[in-house]
Chains A and B, each alone.
Chain A
Amino acid sequence: DAKTTQPPSMDCAEGRAANLPCNHSTISGNEYVYWYRQIHSQGPQYIIHGLKNNETNEMASLIITEDRKSSTLILPHATLRDTAVYYCIVRVEMNYGGATNKLIFGTGTLLAVQP
């Protein structure tokens, strides 16, 4: 089961910052938080990920609380093209020869950017 809880939908005015919250109260110490988005009829697109520290890249910023039980994805200047479903994911750790781990998606937040 997914380990995250997100609001089903949010609105944001074009040009304003979009702040998308996510709760992951059962996260373990070595589990990463990932954010993906899915624009209609496309495969999910990677946005950002983090473990403990806040992270920023060209797309967004990720703010993780000190207790790691929640996080916020920030799109600093939302555009109409940012309208999508945003998924907050806690990467589930697997033990397969030291290889990678799997992403279990939750229900996501539909962000609608309004003109």
Chain B
Amino acid sequence: SAVISQKPSRDICQRGTSLTIQCQVDSQVTMMFWYRQQPGQSLTLIATANQGSEATYESGFVIDKFPISRPNLTFSTLTVSNMSPEDSSIYLCSVGANYGYTFGSGTRLTVV
């Protein structure tokens, strides 16, 4: 299965600022996914990142708040924009193959 490297692993940010999270995969993958996990909660899918096209966002998530880039088949970034304390969560990158899905270890974000 693919190996995912996510950076940063954690960060503490000031409200009103933005943070860009990087997801690097050790092999080429078609589909990449970004999830959010709020404290004590399950994972919520933010968007599907498709190489060469706009990301597809789930209900409740918008591009202005969570812009995503997917410049090639091994890399993606998620930006959390204009942050507020409610954005404090773990953000996880995932990649999918026909049957298997692998997750990164996540970025733990605290907004103060």
B residues contacting the other copy or chain, number (CB 8 A): 27
Residues 30 to 65 of chain A near chain B (Cβ within 8 Å): 32, 34, 41-46, 49
Min distance, Cβ A106 to any Cβ of chain B, angstroms: 6
Tell me the complex Cα distance, A85–B40, Å: 11
Known: A102-B45, A105-B43. A43 touches B100 (CB 8 A): no
Tell me the complex Cα distance, A87–B48, Å: 20
26 of the cross-chain contacts (CB-CB < 8 Å) are A32-B99, A34-B101, A42-B105, A42-B106, A43-B92, A43-B94, A43-B103, A43-B105, A44-B92, A44-B103, A45-B103, A46-B1, A49-B99, A87-B42, A96-B48, A96-B56, A99-B30, A99-B31, A100-B31, A100-B96, A102-B33, A103-B45, A103-B94, A104-B45, A105-B45, A106-B42
Interface flags for B28-58 (1: CB within 8 Å of A; 0: not) read 0011010100000011110010100000100
Tell me the complex Cα distance, A45–B104, Å: 10
Tell me the complex Cα distance, A98–B105, Å: 28
Q: Which residues of A contact B99 (CB under 8 A)?
A: 32, 49
Query: B101 touches which one: A46, A94, A106, A108 (CB < 8 A)?
Result: A46
B105 touches A108 (CB 8 A): no
Closest to B98 in A: A100
Tell me the complex Cα distance, A105–B37, Å: 10
Does A28 count as interface, using CB distance less than 8 angstroms? no
Does A23 count as interface, using CB distance less than 8 angstroms? no
